[in-house]
Chains A and B, each alone.
Chain A
C-alpha cells in the first residue's frame, strides 16, 4: 500500500497548444464560427497588404532600377498590373515629415532635442532607473533647454516657428499640451471641489466654457482673434497661440478626469488626514491626489491620446504638422496621386505613438494595481 501512484497527466484537451486553442478559439460553435471567419478574412487580407506594403513596393528604386524622383517613375504607374506602394515619396520627403522646413544646417538642434526628450522621459517611465533623481532634475529643465535650442538664443540663430513642421510640430504640441495641462487640470479639479464659492465658481465656469466649445473654435480664437486684442507691438508667435488654445482645452478635460478620481476617494481618507492635523495642500498632495490620480490613469491616458490626435486640427489655422506636410506633399505636382502611401505613413507614425501610450498605461495600471479594492492590500 506504500506504493506511490504516479499522478495522472491532465487531459490532452485542456493543456498545451490544443487546450489553449480549444479554450480560446473553439470553445463553442459561435466561437468556432467567428474564429474561422476571422482566419478567412486574415487569409484574404494579410497576403495582399504584405504584398502591397513590402514585397511589390518601391522603396527607393523602381523595378527598372532607377531612383524614383516623381510619381511617374513609380512601378505601379509605369506598369499598373504589378507594383505596390511607392514609398519613395516618404524617402524623398522624410526630412520634411520629421523636421518641416527647419534649415538643414541647423537641424542638429532638433535632433538633440529629440534625444533629450527621450532622456527626459526615461525617469518618468522607468521608476527603477539608476540615478533617477538626477535624471528627474534634467526632466524639469528640459523644456527650457529645448525652447532655446529649437527657437534660438544664446548665440544660436533664431528659427521662426513658421519653419517648424511635421513631426516636430506634432510632438511640440502634443508634449507641451499634455505636460502643461496636467498640473493645470489638477488645480482646476481641486478648485471645482473647493468650498470657497469664488474659486469653485471660476473653475466651473472655465471648465464648462472650454468643454462647451470645439477645439477648432479655440484654435481659431487663438489664431485669428487673439492678435486683434493684443496691443500693437506685441507679436505673439503663431505656434504659441495654438499651444495656449490646446493647453486650455486639454486642461479642462484633464480637470474633469481627475475630479472623477477625486470623487472615488472615500470621505474617511479626508477625515483621517484632517485628524492627523494635515493642512489642505498637504492632505491633497500626500493622501488624496496620489490615490485619485492612480485610479484615473486610464482616462488620463485616454484624453492624452485624444489630444495627440487632435493636434492634426492645427492645419485649419495654417500650421503644417505631420498630416499637413503629408497633404502639402500631395499638392506637389511631382507626387500627385500618392495619397495611399502618404496617409498610410502618417497613420503608422500616429499609431506608433498612441499605441505606445496605451501600452504604457496598461503597464502602469498593472504595476500600481489600480482597482476598486485599493488600500485593502
Chain B
C-alpha cells in the first residue's frame, strides 16, 4: 500500500511539477486545505458551519499569509485513509489533519512535514475514584486498548519497562473504549492524550475522570505539503513559525497594532516594518502581521481551541514554549 502510494506521489508530482503551488493558489484565489472530518479541538464545523480548531487555524493562517484574508480557504475533509492520496494528487495544497510526523511518511510517501503544531502522545485516563496519581501504580489494571494500533505496542513496552502487569480488554473504536470505561468494564483507557481529553469532555460528569500525567509515546502532529515544492513548503512552515514567534515575543492579536511601534528589532522584522522577509517568501510585507491580527499567536489559537478553558482542558504541557517548560521552539526570525 505504501509503495503504491509513493508511486502515486511520483506520478502526481510529475503532473504538478509545472508551476509552484504558491502560484497555483494565488491564481485560484483561495487555498485548499485538507482537514479531518471532525475531531474535537482540531477541526470541526461550528454551529454556523465555519471550521474551527487548531488545525483549521493553521489553514487560515496560511490563507492569511497568501491573501491577507482569513476567509480565502476551502476546507476539504479527509479521512485517515484518504488524506495522503488527496494531498499527493494535488487536490489539496496542504494537509493540517493531526497527522503524526514519521520517517516513512516524510520520506517514503514523498511528503514534507513543515513543523509541529501539536505535540501529542499516548496517555492514560482513569476514574478519579481509583485514587491513582501515576501510571506506574496501575499494577494489575484492566486496560481498554484499540487492537492493531501502535498504542497497543507502546502499552506493552511501558508496562514491561516498569515491571508491572496489566490485563488488556481489546476494543475496536474510540466510542467502544469510552462506553467500556464509563461502564466500568475496564479501569484504564489508553489512547492519544488529545483523544482522551475529548472522551473525558464527552462524559456526563467529566470531574469523575482524570488523565494521568504520563505520556508514553511521541506523536508530533503537524501540517505537511508535497515533496519538492520548497517555496510552498516555506510559506506553510513560516506561517506556523510566525505564530510561535509571536507568542515568544508577546505579540497578540490585541496588541499587534501597538507593537508596530515596538523597539524590539525582532518584533519589527516579524511585523514587516523592517527587512524584506515577505518579499523573500513572495508574500505581502505584512503577511505575519495579518496572521497575528486575524488569527492570533500560537497561544491564542491553543487557548481558544484545546486549552484549559475549553471543554477539552488540555494543559500546555509539551506544547508550552521552550522558555516555559515545553518544547515548542521556532527558529529565529532574521
Do A and B assemble together? yes
Binding site for B on A (CB under 8 A): 69, 72, 76-77, 80, 92-93, 95-96, 100-101, 160, 162, 220, 223-225, 227-228, 232, 238, 315-320, 324-325, 327-334, 336-337, 339
B46 contacts the other chain (Cβ, under 8 Å)?
Answer: yes
Which residues on the B side are within 8 Å of A238 (C-beta)? 76, 91
- Of the candidate stretches B79-87, B104-112, B255-263, B287-295, the one touching chain A is B79-87
Closest to B18 in A: A232
Given A101-B49, A224-B82, A328-B44, verify A333-B38 contact (CB < 8 Å): no
B202 contacts the other chain (Cβ, under 8 Å)?
Answer: yes
Which residues on the B side are within 8 Å of A80 (C-beta)? 204-205
Closest to B43 in A: A331
Closest to B311 in A: A333
A-contact 0/1 string along B190-202, CB 8 Å cutoff = 0000000010011
Do B37 and A336 have beta carbons less than 8 Å apart? no
Closest to A101 in B: B49
Q: How far is the CA of A220 from the CA of B45 in the complex (A)?
A: 24
B47 contacts the other chain (Cβ, under 8 Å)?
Answer: yes
Which residues on the B side are within 8 Å of A69 (C-beta)? 47
A-contact 0/1 string along B1-21, CB 8 Å cutoff = 000000010011001101000
B window 17-75: CB within 8 A of A? 18, 36-41, 43-47, 49, 52, 74-75
Q: How many A-B residue pairs have CB under 8 A?
A: 111
Which residues on the B side are within 8 Å of A331 (C-beta)? 36, 38-40, 43-44, 198
Closest to B198 in A: A336
Closest to B30 in A: A160
Which residues on the B side are within 8 Å of A93 (C-beta)? 47
Do B77 and A330 have beta carbons less than 8 Å apart? no
Instruction: Taking A225-B8, A331-B44 as given, write out 8 further A-B residue pairs in contact, using a Cβ cutoff of 8 Å, ordered by the A residue number.
Output: A162-B74, A162-B75, A228-B12, A317-B79, A318-B79, A332-B52, A333-B310, A334-B311
Which residues on the A side are within 8 Å of B175 (C-beta)? 339
Which residues on the A side are within 8 Å of B122 (C-beta)? none
Q: Could you pull out 19 A-B pairs where Cβ atoms are within 8 angstroms?
A: A80-B204, A162-B75, A220-B82, A223-B82, A223-B85, A224-B8, A232-B16, A318-B77, A318-B79, A318-B82, A331-B39, A331-B43, A333-B44, A333-B305, A333-B312, A336-B40, A337-B202, A337-B203, A337-B204
Which of A93, A316, A318, A337 has the largest count of B CB atoms less than 10 A from its CB?
A318
Do B74 and A336 have beta carbons less than 8 Å apart? no
Q: How far is the CA of A317 from the CA of B89 in the complex (A)?
A: 14
Which residues on the B side are within 8 Å of A223 (C-beta)? 82, 85-86
B301 contacts the other chain (Cβ, under 8 Å)?
Answer: no
Q: How far is the CA of A237 from the CA of B323 in the complex (A)?
A: 47
What's the minimum C-beta distance from A240 to chain B, rounded to whole angstroms?
A: 13
**Neighbour of B79 across the interface among A92, A95, A315, A339, CB < 8 A:** A315
Closest to B45 in A: A328
Given A224-B82, A228-B12, A315-B37, verify A162-B76 contact (CB < 8 Å): yes
Which of B36, B44, B52, B90 has the largest count of A CB atoms less than 10 A from its CB?
B44
B78 contacts the other chain (Cβ, under 8 Å)?
Answer: yes
The 10 closest A-B pairs by CB, nearest first: A331-B38, A337-B202, A328-B38, A331-B44, A224-B85, A336-B202, A318-B77, A227-B89, A332-B44, A101-B49
Q: Is the interface of A mostly helix, strand, loop or mixed?
A: helix
Closest to A69 in B: B47
Closest to B88 in A: A228
Binding site for A on B (CB under 8 A): 8, 11-12, 15-16, 18, 36-41, 43-47, 49, 52, 74-79, 81-82, 85-86, 89-91, 175, 198, 201-205, 305, 310-312
Given A96-B49, A328-B45, verify A336-B82 contact (CB < 8 Å): no
Given A228-B11, A315-B37, verify A337-B201 contact (CB < 8 Å): yes
What's the minimum C-beta distance from A216 to chain B, rounded to whole angstroms?
A: 9
Do A330 and B82 have beta carbons less than 8 Å apart? no
Which residues on the B side are within 8 Å of A332 (C-beta)? 38, 40, 44-47, 52
Do A319 and B47 have beta carbons less than 8 Å apart? no
Q: How far is the CA of A319 from the CA of B44 in the complex (A)?
A: 14
What's the minimum C-beta distance from B78 to chain A, rounded to whole angstroms?
A: 5
Which residues on the A side are within 8 Å of B74 (C-beta)? 160, 162
Do A101 and B204 have beta carbons less than 8 Å apart? no
Which residues on the B side are within 8 Å of A227 (C-beta)? 89-91
Q: How far is the CA of A92 from the CA of B45 in the complex (A)?
A: 12
Q: How far is the CA of A223 from the CA of B92 in the complex (A)?
A: 13
Q: How far is the CA of A95 from the CA of B82 in the complex (A)?
A: 27
What's the minimum C-beta distance from B256 to chain A, rounded to whole angstroms?
A: 26
Which residues on the B side are within 8 Å of A315 (C-beta)? 37, 79
Which residues on the B side are within 8 Å of A100 (C-beta)? 49
Q: How far is the CA of A324 from the CA of B85 in the complex (A)?
A: 20
Q: How far is the CA of A345 from the CA of B74 in the complex (A)?
A: 28
What's the minimum C-beta distance from B217 to chain A, rounded to whole angstroms?
A: 23
What's the minimum C-beta distance from A87 to chain B, rounded to whole angstroms?
A: 15
Q: How far is the CA of A315 from the CA of B78 in the complex (A)?
A: 9
Do B37 and A324 have beta carbons less than 8 Å apart? yes
Given A101-B45, A332-B46, verify A224-B86 contact (CB < 8 Å): yes
Which residues on the B side are within 8 Å of A334 (C-beta)? 46-47, 311
Q: How far is the CA of A80 from the CA of B205 in the complex (A)?
A: 9
What's the minimum C-beta distance from A327 to chain B, rounded to whole angstroms?
A: 5
What's the minimum C-beta distance from B23 to chain A, rounded to whole angstroms?
A: 15
**Neighbour of B8 across the interface among A76, A95, A228, A319, CB < 8 A:** A228
Do A316 and B198 have beta carbons less than 8 Å apart? no
What's the minimum C-beta distance from B41 to chain A, rounded to whole angstroms?
A: 6
What's the minimum C-beta distance from A223 to chain B, rounded to whole angstroms?
A: 6
Which residues on the A side are within 8 Å of B205 (C-beta)? 80
Given A224-B82, A320-B77, verify A95-B49 contact (CB < 8 Å): yes
Closest to A216 in B: B81
Do B39 and A333 have beta carbons less than 8 Å apart? no
Q: How far is the CA of A232 from the CA of B17 in the complex (A)?
A: 11
Do B38 and A336 have beta carbons less than 8 Å apart? no
Q: How far is the CA of A327 from the CA of B312 in the complex (A)?
A: 17
Do B89 and A228 have beta carbons less than 8 Å apart? yes
